[in-house]
Amino acid sequence: MRVISGTARGTKLTALPGEDVTRPTIDRVKEAMFSPLQFVLPGARVLDLFAGSGQLGIEALSRGAAACTFIDESPEAAQVVIRNCKAAGVFDRSRVSIGEAVRFLANTKNTFHVVLLDPPYNRGTLEKILPAVAKVTEEGGTVVCESEVSAVLPDEVGGLVKKKQHRYGTVLVTRYQKETAE
């Protein structure tokens, strides 16, 4: 697992052992997630919810995001995120917190330009959490979800509108855009 583009390109990242704990995103899927964000990321505030190894948020920081908040409920995963951020040279723009995603979303006063979601598969997590994610997403902001192909995600939820969905083997990548007030 490595950073595929930007200032930290080629940096090797580590993950906790066992795919039941963290599931590294393969390069082809990561590129599909980030290509549409190339003009959005510079200067953006990013949220990497269900951070795992932190690879998605680190990729965003490597590509020019101003800051990234990493959330994971595992203290061990949070330590891996910290090590990976330091290895990639992005720790100064990182905030790593241990906690449950739902609780974080309910309590944060911050909003984000880009939200990256890669929760555990086959638990219906995305369907449940998208309304709360919508509340912390800036108008015009982007939410990118990685899920199992069997996930059924809404076309619209809380002002988030599904813009694109594509299958990569056993992985489904879905991109939402937050509507702007008129």
Note the pTM of the prediction, 2 decimals.
0.94
Q: What is the pLDDT of residues 127-163, one digit of tens each?
A: 999 999 999 999 999 999 999 999 989 999 999 999 9
DSSP 3-state of 138: strand
The pair of structure tokens assigned to 154 is 């809404």
Q: Could you read off the pLDDT of 11-36 as tens digits, one per residue? A: 999 988 765 556 667 788 888 899 99
Instruction: Tell me the CATH architecture of domain 27-178.
Output: 3-Layer(aba) Sandwich (3.40)
CB atoms within 10 A of CB 28: 12
